[in-house]
Structure 1
Amino acid sequence: MRFLLALGGMLCAASVAAAPGYALWGELKYAPGFTHFDYVNPDAPKGGELRLVSNLRTSTFDKYNPFTIKGSAPAYLGDMLFDSLLAGSMDENGAGYGLLAEDVAVAADGLSATFVLRREARFHNGDPVLASDLKFVFDTLMGPYTSPAYKTVLEDVAGIDVLDARTVRYRFKKANRELPLTVGGLPVFSHKWGMENGKAKRFDEVVMDIPIGSGPYRIGPVNFGKDITYVRDPNYWARDLNVKRGTENFDRITVKIYKDSTARLEALKAGEFDLMRFFSAADWARRVTGKRFDTGELVKGEFQHRLPSGFQSYVINLRRDKFQDARVREALGLAMDYEWMNRQMFYGAYQRVVGLFGNTDCQATGLPSPQELALMEPLRKNIPAAAFGPMALPPRTDGDSSLRANLRRAQALLQQAGWTVRDGALRNAKGEPMVIEYLDSNESGARVVSPWARNLEKLGIQLNYRPVDFALYQQRLSKFEFEIMSINYPGTNSPGQEFADMFGSKAADVEDSGNYTGLKNPAVDTLIARMTAAKTKDELLPACRALERVISHSHILIPQWTASTHRMAYNAWRLARPAQVPPYSPGEGWAIHTWWAQPARTSK
């Protein structure tokens, strides 16, 4: 699903005229005929190697097919190997420019989008990218062997028509501003991928077959359990396109695999790789030091961005009876002392997550507007009453607020919900104690969860920290076999159908869907539908803000924290970067796609 989300908010057309790109709301930043994006070095030299570690929790991989349900694919494989019809830019929201497609046209009624493929577009095996391949991709992703999230996001796509060898038309069940960008963001692979003796294998049996993509890199040397190298295709068909000029500069990109964060950090200091992104404030503040930093070989860089905040959260699984009462869920959030954690553990590096759409136009504040109320009133019976008041804000423990007052409020809520302290534990009417399992794939997470657990203990709640290996963690999440866990949900400036996968009623019962909370709420379903059906920004904003209010006041997510910078340590003797930092750069993705290798240093 990352392939779809990466292009979220790129495209929407209100015209039937063919064009090389579309703006979601208003004009494109780059006029037709532009030569390159502003944030790249169009003359960046090609060559050299980038060595890095991924920010994924997976410790290794067991397949090359990132679209199927079981197993783990290598980090960054999708970005490296698969092109899409449209490409976004890192310095613009709501815009898409032709990559595989040279022309895009959306029907005036919004019920179809037509794409014309470039004649020069080629797969890694030299075959042209044809309309029949796009149909194969769509049919495959909608089939039974891929992640169910694709079915959710593509639910309103009625089908795809092959108009000629290089032209396809996607048909939509209803007008939806999101659908042209969704199909334009699908990864494209050859129908020959996975064939044996001229016969196609079932897609879930395409496991270690080398993908036949159309992207700038191919899979190179692989040391299982240690690293994977992507090798730049010198004949990459799009290397001279304006959307690709100055990008994909490294001949080789090697992704190293280490057992844990401590091993990664020590390997960075030892010079085993060149780039590492940091998510631990403690590591960044105290441990990113050493000889190579003193000499200037390794550099700490904090790169400001304007990305949406996202909503990294503790996720409460409503499939468990103990969490059915919203008062219980709210009480759990009141026990979290974020201000103390940010001061004592995070070195003041973070800001608190608020709602779903922080740092975007969709962010709700204050009281609902008349437009929001017009959407919410017909759904009142399925909306928390508090959502009609001020926007929910996470509890604070600074200023006039305190942890003691929050815990008293939590205790009162728990009593109202039928939970009281007896025999040293919080118990329900049946005498059952409130014991919660927190599932994690990283033992180091215990440090962050411990302060919350101590505060919950004051309420009589026992929080057990349960670390498991990543394979088991993935399996339990896919089957929703957890009580509370943590997810870093990416933000978006243009929310759409992906929210049906995260919060839609239908997705709640689909194994491996993104609805981890198990939320089933007709009001949420309706607001998501109104949000995705919006034809103008004036229609979008009330819908997404109303949705944010309902989700926030439902207390199914306990907001965590976010940062307005990308923290990366890199080898300045081996790597060079553009002077301009694009405001919407995706962290290490900026380095992967736009940095280049320094000339080799000569020893004295």
Structure 2
Amino acid sequence: MTAWRRVVVGAGLAGALALSLAQGAAAQDAAAQPAGDMIRSHGYSYYGDLKYPADFAHFDYVNPDAPKGGEIALAASGTFDSMNPYSVKGRAGAYSWMAYESLLGEEPSTGGSAPADVYGEMYGLLAERLEYPADKSWVIFYMRPEARFSDGTPVTAHDVVFSHNLLLEQGLASYADAVKRRILSAEALDDHTVRFTFAEGISRRSLIDQVGSVPVWPKAWFDKTGARLDEPRMDAAPGSGPYVLESYDVNRRIVYRRNPDYWGKDLPINRGRHNFDRIRIEYFGDEAAGFEAFKAGEYTFRAESNSRQWATGYDFPAFQRGWVVREELPNGTPPDPTGFVFNLTRPQFQDRRVREAISLAYNFEWTNAQLQYGLFKQRHSFTQGSPLEAKGTPEGAELALLQSLGDLVPPEMLADPVVMAHESSERSLDDRRNRRRAGELLDAAGWPVGKDGMRRNAAGETFRLEIPINSAGSSTLESVVETFVQNLRRFGLDARFVKIDPSQYTLRERNRDFDMIYSGYRAFLDTGTGLHQTYGSRDALVSTFNPAALQSPLVDRLIDISLDSKTPEERDTALRALDRALRWERFIVPVWYNDTTWVAYWDMFAHPGNLPPYSVGVLDFWWHDADKAARLRAEGALR
């Protein structure tokens, strides 16, 4: 996850990406009771339901007695030139966001302190409790006086207000613009009490959770150094989190150490967590070099994403001797909607028929069988496998909703089944049925094929299409892109891919300097104003979270309807219709997904038996097993 993605996911999308597990009032929290018109609680969810009571001892899935100690080492590819994870320039060091905390714990997928066994619930971290009226027009956070930054200075309400304003002044323009419209003021009532006031006439979604998940930085440090949030630098501001930067060697290594004086180590939300004394990140020029280093024990934990390596690469001596183990861990979240993303600002992609034709060049069945060892499934939906996934033709409440929107809804969307990823031949990369269909679509869109086999428009221009790929990425992904381009050329398109270094790739992705790119979005599992940042029209041309620059009045309206929903049922209907509308737009060619998480590690770690569904949690609630590590050393496995 990129640094700024983490900021906006944590701040703007905390509600948008939350999966509501409350259906009705089955899990109402007795501790979050309204007092007249006021609600006072130790945590927050939009509907007020919380799994964990105010006096909970620890999250259910952690080992509260997990030992502290040891080191875990992971790999990163490419380079870094900053330890400031919030800069919009440069490449931040891996996991540099770990130093910072917020009033409420963020979602676990971003390393936050929210529980990983439920979604849409946040519990007090820097704040011990919060108070807000039933209409959610404002919120007051009562902070923990004992909270400290790693330099020993207290974390105050003044730091919270400063951090909020700093993001507005030096953060992403799309984020700042959205927040200014929705949050009228942030004020420190005293050193440990902060109040946020929200605008009238807007959805109450993603307000309290947004301000509750903004990272908090020390105002005094910024005042003293004159540093800016948006600049790359190696001397990052101190945070209040459990880990601090120990050392770094640019483009080679980063080491974090657990702060023995961490102020929050005894909080219930932290019990059984943050167990490693040291977290070491080793950098490698590319993915292949990184895997060879893992085999040699240069780092000790690997999240595997390369199907070829998962299927054939784990036959090295350390694995054969039982020193390295593999696990397929449960994954309860829908897969992120990744794939080949169109740059919709390019004129040649304005016609939906062109986008459909190009999508037909991707052969999932052949790719999965020949390049990925049959290990993946085909993704269709933006919320694959969840209750929000649109299916078949619209009916019932969803049909009524779409019919009520009049001309915003294409007639075909009402009558035809939801858009699904096409089927292809597993036996041949070139599926002739799909090639014929693509030809018909391109002809109809004004791109006929000439005598030389190339397609041209009325002005005689060939259809040019370039896909940049990261030179530090996996060889399997390169093969997938290469075969996709082969089929595009069979279609008569002047298609090519180009390998570029990681820094240039990041810059081109940020600047939307591409025709198509292998990228993606985040699966939506609940509503929230962050959906507008990701899929909405207003910020489409500047938002880094909408790589396609999608602009659809129908999508905008469905997001608004979901935000204004009064019940979970109304919300789910709107989001199901949103999935249908997004798939109709065909702005991304859907590829594959894995419904488990592949991990491999040197056999010196342990994790709870009852893993939660929404996070693997290796840096969260795993721990170092000293006895296993001693055995590996005794057998000569590790130095």
Of 13-22 and 119-128, deviating more is 13-22
**What SS is found at the alignment partner of 1:364?**
coil
Of 344-353 and 360-369, deviating more is 360-369
Q: After TM superposition, give the deviation of residue 61 of structure 1 in Å.
A: 1.4
Deviation per CA, 1:451-501: give whole Å up to 9, x if none: 222222222123201111111112112221110001142324224222222
Do the aligned partners of residues 124 and 533 (structure 1) sit closer, same or farther apart at CA in structure 2, a change above 3 Å counting?
farther
Say if 2:383 is the partner of 1:357.
Answer: yes
Which residue in 2 is equivalent to 1:434? 463
Query: Structure 2: how far apart are the matches of 1:524 and 1:99?
Result: 35
**What SS is found at the alignment partner of 1:284?**
helix
Query: Structure 2: how far apart are the matches of 1:62 and 1:406?
Result: 45
Of 554-563 and 501-510, deviating more is 501-510
Q: After TM superposition, give the deviation of residue 546 of structure 1 in Å.
A: 1.8
- Structure 1, unmatched stretches of 5+, are none
Question: Would you say the 8 A contact 1:503–1:517 is kept in 2?
Answer: no
**What SS is found at the alignment partner of 2:619?**
helix
Question: Would you say the 8 A contact 1:43–1:246 is kept in 2?
Answer: yes
Deviation per CA, 1:29-68: give whole Å up to 9, x if none: 22221111122111111111111114xx6x1211122222
Deviation per CA, 1:103-127: give whole Å up to 9, x if none: 1233211222221111221111222
Which residue in 1 is equivalent to 2:493? 461
Of 277-286 and 91-100, deviating more is 91-100
Of 550-559 and 149-158, deviating more is 149-158
Deviation per CA, 1:510-529: give whole Å up to 9, x if none: 2x632221222222222222
Which residue in 2 is equivalent to 1:37? 59
Query: Structure 1: how far apart are the matches of 2:66 and 2:358?
Result: 51
Say if 2:17 is the partner of 1:17.
Answer: no
Q: 1:50 aligns with which of 46, 62, 72?
A: 72
State the AA in 2 paired with 1:102: E
State the AA in 2 paired with 1:66: P
Query: Structure 2: how far apart are the matches of 1:311 and 1:515?
Result: 12
Superposed, 1:338-353 pairs within 5 Å as: 338-353=364-379
Q: After TM superposition, give the deviation of residue 84 of structure 1 in Å.
A: 4.2
Percent identity, aligned pairs only, is 35
Do the aligned partners of residues 150 and 257 (structure 1) sit closer, same or farther apart at CA in structure 2, a change above 3 Å counting?
same
Q: After TM superposition, give the deviation of residue 181 of structure 1 in Å.
A: 1.5
Do the aligned partners of residues 14 and 316 (structure 1) sit closer, same or farther apart at CA in structure 2, a change above 3 Å counting?
farther
Which residue in 2 is equivalent to 1:164? 190
Question: Would you say the 8 A contact 2:104–2:122 is kept in 1?
Answer: no
Of 175-184 and 301-310, deviating more is 175-184
TM-score of the aligned structures, taking structure 2 as reference length: 0.88
Which residue in 2 is equivalent to 1:484? 516
**What SS is found at the alignment partner of 1:257?**
strand
Q: After TM superposition, give the deviation of residue 329 of structure 1 in Å.
A: 0.3
Question: Would you say the 8 A contact 1:110–1:175 is kept in 2?
Answer: no
Q: 2:623 aligns with which of 596, 601, 604?
A: 596
Query: Structure 2: how far apart are the matches of 1:53 and 1:195?
Result: 35
Query: Structure 1: how far apart are the matches of 2:230 and 2:336?
Result: 32
Q: After TM superposition, give the deviation of residue 536 of structure 1 in Å.
A: 2.7
Q: 2:119 aligns with which of 49, 70, 93?
A: 93
Q: After TM superposition, give the deviation of residue 75 of structure 1 in Å.
A: 1.1
Say if 2:249 is the partner of 1:253.
Answer: no
Q: After TM superposition, give the deviation of residue 237 of structure 1 in Å.
A: 1.0
**What SS is found at the alignment partner of 1:425?**
coil
Which residue in 1 is equivalent to 2:539? 507
Question: Would you say the 8 A contact 2:244–2:258 is kept in 1?
Answer: yes
Q: After TM superposition, give the deviation of residue 178 of structure 1 in Å.
A: 2.0
Query: Structure 2: how far apart are the matches of 1:552 and 1:62?
Result: 38
Question: Would you say the 8 A contact 1:46–1:251 is kept in 2?
Answer: yes
Which residue in 2 is equivalent to 1:103? 129
Q: After TM superposition, give the deviation of residue 417 of structure 1 in Å.
A: 0.7
Question: Would you say the 8 A contact 1:282–1:345 is kept in 2?
Answer: yes
Which residue in 1 is equivalent to 2:249? 223
Superposed, 1:69-148 pairs within 5 Å as: 69-86=88-105, 87-143=113-169, 145-148=170-173
Question: Would you say the 8 A contact 1:362–1:493 is kept in 2?
Answer: yes
State the AA in 2 paired with 1:581: L
Of 541-550 and 554-563, deviating more is 541-550
Q: After TM superposition, give the deviation of residue 283 of structure 1 in Å.
A: 1.0
Of 289-298 and 322-331, deviating more is 289-298
Query: Structure 1: how far apart are the matches of 2:594 and 2:432?
Result: 27
Q: After TM superposition, give the deviation of residue 382 of structure 1 in Å.
A: 4.0
Do the aligned partners of residues 385 and 159 (structure 1) sit closer, same or farther apart at CA in structure 2, a change above 3 Å counting?
farther
**Following superposition, which runs of at least 4 residues in structure 1 exceed 6 angstroms of deviation?**
10-14
Superposed, 1:2-13 pairs within 5 Å as: 2-6=6-10, 7=14, 8-9=17-18
Question: Would you say the 8 A contact 2:605–2:623 is kept in 1?
Answer: yes
Query: Structure 2: how far apart are the matches of 1:598 and 1:202?
Result: 41
Deviation per CA, 1:532-558: give whole Å up to 9, x if none: 333431221122122221111111111
Which residue in 1 is equivalent to 2:269? 243
Deviation per CA, 1:222-261: give whole Å up to 9, x if none: 1111110111111111101111000001111011100111
Alignment length (residue pairs) = 593
Say if 2:419 is the partner of 1:392.
Answer: yes
Query: Structure 1: how far apart are the matches of 2:569 and 2:623?
Result: 42
Which residue in 1 is equivalent to 2:600? 569
Which residue in 1 is equivalent to 2:108? none
**What SS is found at the alignment partner of 1:314?**
strand
Say if 2:208 is the partner of 1:183.
Answer: no
Question: Would you say the 8 A contact 1:306–1:359 is kept in 2?
Answer: no
State the AA in 1 paired with 2:65: D
Deviation per CA, 1:320-366: give whole Å up to 9, x if none: 11111000001111221101111221112111121211132322112
Do the aligned partners of residues 488 and 505 (structure 1) sit closer, same or farther apart at CA in structure 2, a change above 3 Å counting?
closer
Question: Would you say the 8 A contact 2:206–2:530 is kept in 1?
Answer: no
Deviation per CA, 1:200-222: give whole Å up to 9, x if none: 44433572223221110011111
Say if 2:342 is the partner of 1:316.
Answer: yes
Q: After TM superposition, give the deviation of residue 370 of structure 1 in Å.
A: 4.1
Q: After TM superposition, give the deviation of residue 264 of structure 1 in Å.
A: 0.6
Q: 1:425 aligns with which of 454, 470, 473?
A: 454
Deviation per CA, 1:409-466: give whole Å up to 9, x if none: 2211111111111021111122211121011113633201122222222221232011
RMSD over aligned Cα atoms: 2.4
Query: Structure 2: how far apart are the matches of 1:125 and 1:221?
Result: 16
State the AA in 1 paired with 2:606: A
Question: Would you say the 8 A contact 2:521–2:534 is kept in 1?
Answer: no
**What SS is found at the alignment partner of 2:570?**
helix
Which residue in 2 is equivalent to 1:583? 613
Do the aligned partners of residues 4 and 319 (structure 1) sit closer, same or farther apart at CA in structure 2, a change above 3 Å counting?
closer
Query: Structure 2: how far apart are the matches of 1:520 and 1:210?
Result: 36
Which residue in 1 is equivalent to 2:220? 192
Do the aligned partners of residues 288 and 158 (structure 1) sit closer, same or farther apart at CA in structure 2, a change above 3 Å counting?
farther
State the AA in 1 paired with 2:312: R
Query: Structure 2: how far apart are the matches of 1:263 and 1:558?
Result: 30
